[in-house]
Structure 1
């Protein structure tokens, strides 16, 4: 289908920012230089203490398409979720940008009877709503300028979860950047092929060597046997992709999120695994283009590469700071927290399958094997001891509804392939604690 007036489609670019002053200008310039101009650029500063916020505000002062949000440091997931609630056209954004929201000497001009509709929680098909009064919202937000808003909320979804306006969304990490035609090609492909998700390739920039490295195909989708699928689950299940993640690897329609009140799981790392799996499981037509539209920076210190650092960082999200007294160094803290994150996200994926199965018996039968293997893939329970367990991973393991036979069959095969894991085989008892088959 040939698309006329391509630029009529508004695209929201959401960027979580934390202490990236060395890279942020290059990232933001890549948005300014896009061939596609109809952009809603949302920059979410997650409590930076370098000059990142100032750089974001400098760009916002010169481009009215940019909205800057500032929040307490609580991780990339929380920053992305705040950005989602602020996409242009959302009730929250319209209220906070309206003339009725004017702060004067800590008094607000607002109709106290006004409110915003919110779902009760994320990660559910339940569409029961509540009303969040404008007065309640005003307690948590300060409008510093027309395109600069501050909040005291670490987790926006504890306050509200909105039905998002129809939009194409693309996440970008603040130390990366996108090619000049990235958004144009995303929109063109999505509209012409009637897609709900468009995935593209990347090129890596290795900071230490100062060189670019091309990838024959996006690493998570290197098994693909074709480039278009009638659903995201068809893509994942046919290609047996059980360990999957998606956030900045392409663009998607906001309507997918509304089907399940889907957001990133708060207060974990690796949150793009459960988010990506469920996003694809909810999506209809999807396609992959093998064009490197995203430049992924491989740097020495980042969320992922920092796992080998032993010294405790001076600044950590609150959910990591609480763990500090329990561990002698940052490496052991991160190893424990990584195991916790994967258990949490596996539980989120299993819960989605169980909720979906209640609605659709055919879905339950057709995709049982896929979701079982996806869930089990993330249960990395043989890598650490659970004697020191401040987040109570043991209790989360007991919540899984997998049968004992399925668990034993999977993990005995795993132990046969990697016998070193026998060191922590006692962890298996927590997963077998109860059988809710």
Structure 2
């Protein structure tokens, strides 16, 4: 059983050695390690090449900057021989790549626990029908140098340590937020079917829904098999500020938006989020239609549409007027397209969704039971009823 680890790299000099050490010292050794240097301007490539020289399992693809999604896609293309590398890419390899049995992504500022791949391999070996292993992870808070083991699982009312079909997992989530990229391993043949959307934030939203829709069974493991570093200058955690000294260099496309908004980085960043949500909804909806999921698995199609409805109501229709007439990516046309799919704006629904979203991390049942038990009621049932009335209604094609 061979695993491929795909690691996109961009300007992570302080963290890369810890990441690569955690991979080359895995207790499970049957690995292909694909490093995709996405145009780093620090010493990241030199560090990667140092590891390449001492480990025969490592290959490096050095390419111009194209973003995280493109780097992951390039890694899959290289492994699966889907497309030859462009002429402006440089490949360093000890041998020709081959299609692995499973793929696991890892971001270059995070790290694996040393038994991560061994645990995944054991699950796949003992559950041959499983297509995806979705495992837990820890947080590492860079600013205070502290590891946090607070559970980060989306609230799923299913026992861990078992495999379930994707429609059951989606149906039992107590939140409408979902993303998946580096949180587990999956069968490599899915790399032929599912791609990351390039040029957007939150690329793991649509990717996760499309990937899970390919699977027959997904194994939920409560083992913490990797650590996710939260640092202020990462792609996801970059401070939203107007300070030009803090404008990220990782995504050249951001400069176009910053110029469009008169140098206001904060507004440009929020617009980038908004655009990403529009693209995620449109692409996932089109995927449902193209793959005929409605006909083959109506329950799964219904759950996916429910997630898209949530994102449309909370992140699109409640924010579409934030940016005035400045609309370089024509998101207002995208909003009209989303409405044409049947995801309709509704003021009452929007307010309810925003309210539910704000209270998702607050355990009101515990609060009522402890503070005012005489009015304690099963609020989860009420919340689910509200979801069923205002979110989970069937959306037309």
Q: Tell me the TM-score normalised to structure 2 length.
A: 0.80
CA contact (8 A) 2:134 2:184 kept: yes
Give the 3 Å change call, closer, same or farther, for CA 386–283 of structure 1 in structure 2.
Answer: farther
- Supply the RMSD in Å over aligned alpha carbons: 2.6
Deviation at 1:403, TM superposition (A): 5.8
Distance 1:66 1:209, change over 3 A: same
Q: Quote the offset at 1:238 in angstroms.
A: 3.3
2:171 aligned to which of 237, 255, 271: 237
| Cα deviation, residue 368, structure 1 | 4.5
The answer to whether the aligner puts 1:415 opposite 2:374 as a matched pair is no
The residue aligned with 1:300 is 232
Alignment partners' CA distance in 2, 1:189 and 1:215: 24
Aligned equivalents of 2:200, 2:48: Cα separation in 1: 25
1:291 paired with 2:223, answer: yes
Distance 1:50-1:11 versus aligned 2 partners, 3 A rule: same
CA distance in 2, matches of 1:240, 1:83: 34
Q: How many residues align?
A: 347
Establish whether residue 398 from structure 1 lines up as the match of residue 336 from structure 2: yes
The one of 281, 284, 290 aligned to 1:346: 281
Distance 1:224 1:69, change over 3 A: farther
Aligned to 1:375: 308
The CA deviation at 1:31 is 0.9
Secondary structure of the corresponding residue to residue 291 of structure 2: helix
Question: What residue number does 1:83 align with?
Answer: 75
Q: CA deviation at 1:246?
A: 0.7
How many angstroms apart in 2 are the aligned matches of 1:13 and 1:417? Answer: 38
Partner of 1:62: 54
Contact kept in structure 2, 1:401 and 1:436, CA below 8 Å: no
Residue 292 (structure 2) pairs with residue 385 (structure 1)? no
> 1:240 offset after TM fit, Å?
5.3
Give matches, 1:146-165, under 5 Å. 146-147=93-94, 165=99
Q: Does 1:215 align with 2:150?
A: yes
- Give the superposition deviation at 1:247: 0.8
Query: What is the correspondence of 1:261-280 to structure 2 with a 5 Å cutoff?
Result: 261-280=193-212
Paired position in structure 1 for 2:382: none
Q: How far off is 1:418 after superposition?
A: 4.8
Of 34, 40, 58, which residue of structure 2 is paired with 1:42?
34
Distance in 2 of aligned mates of 1:205 and 1:323: 31
Between 1:242-251 and 1:393-402, the stretch displaced more is: 393-402
Q: Give per-residue Cα distances to partners, 1:242-300, cap 9 Å, x unaligned.
A: 32101111111112333xx2110011110011101111111011111111110111112
* Partner residue, 1:254: 188
* Deviations 1:120-152, CA, capped at 9 Å, x for gaps: xxxxxxxxxxxxxx7xx6644445x44599xxx
Q: Per-residue deviation at 1:401?
A: 5.9
Contact 1:201 1:215 in 2 (8 A): no
Equivalent residue of 1:54, what SS? helix
Q: 1:83 to 1:37 in 2, by over 3 A?
A: same
Distance 2:95 2:63 in 1: 11
Paired residue secondary structure (2:308):
helix
TM-score, normalisation: structure 1: 0.73
Q: For 2:338, what is the secondary structure of its paired residue? A: coil
2: CA distance between counterparts of 1:148 and 1:317?
A: 32
Structure 1: unaligned runs, 5 residues or longer: 1-8, 93-117, 119-133, 150-163, 420-434
Q: Counterparts of 2:236 and 2:178 in 1: how far apart (Å)?
A: 16
Which residue is equivalent to 1:182? 116
